[in-house]
Amino acid sequence: MSELQLRVVGVRAEARDVMRLELADPEGRPLPAFEPGAHVVLKLPNGAVRSYSLLNDWRERDRYVLGVGRSETSRGGSAYVHAELRSGAEIRCDTPANNFRLQDDAGHYVFIAGGIGITPILSMIRWCEAMGRSWQLAYAVRNRARIAFYEELAAYDDKVRFHCDDEHGGPLPVAQCMAGLPPHAQVYCCGPAPLMQAVQACGGGLPAKALHFEWFSAPAQGQAPAADVPASAGFWIDLARSGQSLFVPDTQSILDVLEHHGHEVPFSCREGVCGTCETAVCGGEPDHRDYIYPESQRTALRSMLVCVSRARSERLVLDL
């Protein structure tokens, strides 16, 4: 993955604690293409590395537009963006990656977003509109002051359902949103963990492969998406390129061990939700504990997220 040097060319507030950030090449060169659902990893001037979804039209090559929600528990990412990042600032950025890819052959698309989780959904909606596809959106926020991109979404009339918790006396009724869906529907959900878990639990009578999630924080401990997670135990990792063999105890992650021994692996979340630390697996059987790979794809995967995933076999061979 190559690195871009971009300039902030636009900053504005979209809602309470939501900032719209526009990035472009300082020399006006076209930016690498992206697909709906993609994200970029920003390397902020304060040293924080954070992943943010792209919300603009996938056909645009002159800019990347992000929506950044200010987290109440920010560790230096969103707080820095809101307080310090202004037009004219230059910032390093990885080329776009996509862990939340939109399936392009669905008969109907159901989008469910909570808070800042609307950002990747916006790009998907733009694609559906351009392609003439059938879609609907349920967008949940705590109150009206937190509805981001309201004017744009309101223009879609009855395709969009706004839900303000304070006005409706509680959270979005997910079961109602997913009732009666056609069998060819595909559901895409991004938002806080309770919303995502409610969508998982309801399912809408759809097969698991029709449900797609992008987590921006891991669920509470004990609520991992994998149904069959063995007890944690130590194992060995063999590094194919360096020739080292390292032991990973049950008290440390693979990423922890690699860092301790001087290996620089890019990372952002340390929770298995962003995909930044994805590493190729040359041998052994990974135990995927992330929130990105669908269960249906895990058996065939030859990569893993080393910040949270472990090993089912006694040894793993990594392409490092």
pLDDT in tens, 219-228: 665 444 444 4
73 has a pLDDT exceeding 50:
yes
Confidence tier at 287 by pLDDT (50, 70, 90):
very high
What average pLDDT does range 141-156 have in this prediction?
96
DSSP 148: T
User: Among 130-144, 147-161, 226-240, where is mean pLDDT lowest?
Assistant: 226-240
∠ CA 119-125-131 to the nearest 5 degrees?
150
- Phi and psi at 260, nearest 5°, equal -60, -30
- Burial label for 134, CB within 10 Å (0-12, 13-18, 19+), is middle
pTM, entire model = 0.80
Domains present along the chain, CATH in parentheses: 3-94 (2.40.30.10), 108-215 (3.40.50.80), 235-318 (3.10.20.30)
- Classified as helix, coil or strand, 122 is helix
Phi-psi sector, 129: left (phi>0), alpha (psi -120 to 50), beta: alpha
Q: Give the strand pairing for 160-164 and 135-141.
A: parallel
SS (H, E, C) 193-236: HHHHHHHHHHHHHCCHHHEEEEECCCCCCCCCCCCCCCCCCCEE
Are 6 and 57 in contact by the 8 Å Cβ rule? The answer is no
Which pLDDT tens digit goes with each residue over 222-246? 444 444 444 456 999 999 999 999 9
Which pLDDT tens digit goes with each residue over 47-65? 888 889 999 999 999 999 9
- 162 or 180: which leads in pLDDT: 162
Q: How far is CA 78 from CA 48, 73, 140, 218, in A?
A: 9, 9, 21, 17
The number of CA neighbours under 13 Å toward the Cβ of 317 is: 6
Which pLDDT tens digit goes with each residue over 188-207? 999 998 999 999 888 867 88
